[in-house]
Amino acid sequence: MLPDDAIDRINDGCRTIGSFCTQEGVAQWEVVAYQSYGHQLDIEAGKISLAAGGGEGGYGIRVVEEGRFGYAYLVDVDAAPNALKQALDVARASPSVEGFVLPSAQEAKPVSGLCDQRILDLGPEDLLEQADAVLSEVASLDERAVVTGGGLGVGATASALLSSEGIDSSGITTSHGLGVQVSIDANDELTSSYEGDSGRQLLPDVPSCIANAVHWAQVTRGPIEVNSEPQDAPVLMTSEGFSPLFSMVVPTAVRGDRLVRNESFWSGKQGTQVLADDLSLIDDGRMDGGKSASSRDGEGVPTSRQTIVDQGRLVGSMWSTRDAAQQVAEGRIEEAHSTGSAVRGGHQAPPGTGCRDFAMTSRNGGHTQDALLERMDDGYIVHSVMGAHTANPTSGDFSVTTSTILRVEGGSILGPVKQAGLSGNLAQALSKDVHLGDDVRIQGSYSSGSMHLPDVLLMQGLRINPA
């Protein structure tokens, strides 16, 4: 899937562009390169509808002169002169950030589990076999169930970073992902559920998310009548339901630049309790096999495992080099340095501050779903939400809807609710009386990075408005 000389080619390209920057007398420069290849299949109406493959990539140039920076990207190395001119033009028209320089070279230890040779060896025929296995599994679990949408794919990315400050790094990462929309259309009722899984390592032929999709399409059938008055109630949010809200609000709240600009609900609360006193937040840039892990961040700074909230107390924050320099220069904070938290979405944009593999843990451990329901007594289970992107990362307020919601009374599940609104303030809901499940699952994120979250029982701060 990945050409044998992929790393050599992008490294050669970086060196060529870097040499040109030096010849032109650029004070500081940084060149990044990405080259990705992959195969994918789409599934529609219970059948494989499209198979595709290919690659994409390019180079990005960041230049810094007297605290001013500019950025440009290109696909062909021969376009370096024009791209460099664009970057310099942007830099010279930009405001200067006193003290902003590109990071110097530091030793960075490798992170394991980011590249799986088994994925590199996969071809389209292997994906066809997996797709067939998924379709067969869904049919075997419920003859009414159909995979109405989704797909699966594998990919490999060769990346490199070279800078005037001595940083020279390259490597290969792999990915394998799968997602399915399972629907049951019977007896004049249609229910469905989307579930997915992905990672750096090869997934099983039939991941557990397949059975989960069928399960939620089943258990949301036959909605029961409930009191339609809005009510404050405990809510058990599954990992899949909780992660969109969490990823939209919490990682953004612990970015250093937002904290010092008073754009976070935790601004001014460094060293104080902001979560329930058993909860901790950890951003791990070095997690073995982490979906967002690497030995260096998007600027070449070595990554680390950083505790952001320790047993409820806010003790850390995330910084990139430029954000740290800018906030110090503007007088919002006396001192700030990169925490290895610069992230890139590819070669077309400069790095920004973001999380890597972000996890919430409890010193009290995790609990089974039955134990969580017993503690809840009366409330709801929410498995997915719509509109999480509208949550306010400055205040923590949110208002979303859900059609995968179950009513719980006396610790037992009564049945599904047709639809409901869910609103509240996530910062308040996480501040006390929070209980975690015992099964941590990896979820995607509206912010950068990936979320490692269990089911979460929130006992206060939420309002349900059943349809």
Q: Please write the tens of the pLDDT for every residue from 95-126.
A: 999 999 999 999 999 999 999 999 999 988 99
Same domain, 323 and 395: yes
Task: Identify whether 145 is part of a domain.
Answer: yes
pLDDT band at 457; cut points 50, 70, 90:
very high
Number of domains in the chain: 2
133-174: pLDDT as tens digits: 999 999 999 999 999 999 999 999 999 999 999 999 999 999
Q: Is the pTM of this model over 0.85?
A: yes
User: Rounded to an integer, what distance in angstroms lies between the CA atom of residue 178 and that of residue 150?
Assistant: 8
Same domain, 375 and 443: yes
Tokens matching residue 17: 């562009």
Task: Identify whether 315 is part of a domain.
Answer: yes
Question: What is the average pLDDT across 292-304?
Answer: 97
Same domain, 322 and 199: no
Residue closest to 404 by CA, chosen among 197, 276, 244:
244
User: Rounded to an integer, what distance in angstroms lies between the CA atom of residue 61 and that of residue 70?
Assistant: 8
Instruction: Report the pLDDT value the prediction gives residue 52, as an integer from 0 to 100.
Output: 87
Same domain, 308 and 162: no
pLDDT band at 51; cut points 50, 70, 90:
confident
Question: What is the average pLDDT across 371-393?
Answer: 96
306-364: pLDDT as tens digits: 999 999 999 999 999 999 999 999 999 999 999 999 999 899 999 999 999 999 999 99
Question: What is the average pLDDT across 382-393?
Answer: 95
Same domain, 124 and 241: no
3-20: pLDDT as tens digits: 889 999 999 999 999 999
Mean pLDDT of the chain: 96
User: Rounded to an integer, what distance in angstroms lies between the CA atom of residue 317 and that of residue 332?
Assistant: 15
Same domain, 253 and 206: no
Same domain, 172 and 250: no
Task: Identify whether 372 is part of a domain.
Answer: yes
User: Rounded to an integer, what distance in angstroms lies between the CA atom of residue 460 and that of residue 233?
Assistant: 7
Tokens matching residue 301: 């700074």
Which of 164, 184, 219 marks a domain boundary? 219
Instruction: Report the pLDDT value the prediction gives residue 35, as an integer from 0 to 100.
Output: 96
Q: Which domain holds residue 390?
A: 231-466
Rg value, the chain, Cα: 24
Question: What is the average pLDDT across 196-216?
Answer: 96
Which residue has better confidence, 461 or 131? 131
pLDDT at 447 over 90: no
Which of 219, 247, 272 marks a domain boundary? 219
Task: Identify whether 226 is part of a domain.
Answer: no
CB distance 73 to 348 below 8 Å: yes
